[in-house]
Amino acid sequence: MTEDEKLHEEAEEVRKETAEDSPELAEHDRVAELERQIEDAKSKALYAAAETQNVRRRLEQELQQATSYAAAAFARDMLAIKDHLDRALAAVTEELRADKTAAQFLAGIEATSRELESVFQRHGVTRIKSMGEELDPHRHQAMMEIPSEEAPGTIVEEMQPGYMMKDRLLRPALVAVAKAAD
């Protein structure tokens, strides 16, 4: 025990002995203790208020995100339908387009595809630009490398389009990137 600690202990003992004989000193000690408790209570109240405000902010942010992205799972599922429509339209030959019955059927498929694109647009679902872009691992998934005259890492082929919902990735674009020619 250091000299200062010894002095402090002795001073406390003298204070206690004196307080027993002096009601004013005891009252002063009681007031000091109550003031300390009030400060403690104020500190705890401020902490609780700050914590409540933090929880409220966090919940508001989570609610905003849940509202903004509530349709993300549904939109992701709808992408498969969009892919099927696009593949069906890409497979149509000019000969089939010339056939009157098939042309009417194709017009219905094209209208469905346009309406789906319109719904995506209204809900903030956009196609990721890929061709000619640098590979962005946050938006693209490289499936293979192809020897090319393009700069290495440049996207030269898109196998499956990727989509974003506002600023959230729904599905990465599956792409092939250029590599230096051998």
Q: Provide the pLDDT for residue 59.
A: 94
SS (HEC) of 27-90: HHHHHHHHHHHHHHHHHHHHHHHHHHHHHHHHHHHHHHHHHHCCCHHHHHHHHHHHHHHHHHHH
Q: Provide the pLDDT for residue 18.
A: 67
pLDDT tens, residue by residue, 31-64 = 889 999 999 999 999 999 999 999 999 999 988 8
Is residue 52 located within the same domain as residue 81? Answer: no
Q: Pick the last residue of a domain from 65, 92, 119.
A: 65
Is residue 50 located within the same domain as residue 98? Answer: no
Is residue 61 located within the same domain as residue 76? Answer: no
pLDDT tens, residue by residue, 3-38 = 888 888 887 787 676 666 666 766 777 888 999 999
- Residue 134 host element (H or E): none
Is residue 107 located within the same domain as residue 149? Answer: yes
Is residue 46 located within the same domain as residue 110? Answer: no
Supply the range of the domain harboring residue 102: 72-180
Is residue 59 located within the same domain as residue 80? Answer: no
- Tell me the C-alpha distance between 108 and 103, whole Å: 9
Q: Pick the last residue of a domain from 17, 46, 65.
A: 65
Is residue 16 located within the same domain as residue 61? Answer: yes
For residue 126 the two structure tokens come to 């956009």
Tell me how many domains the chain contains: 2
Is residue 77 located within the same domain as residue 166? Answer: yes
Q: Provide the pLDDT for residue 20.
A: 62
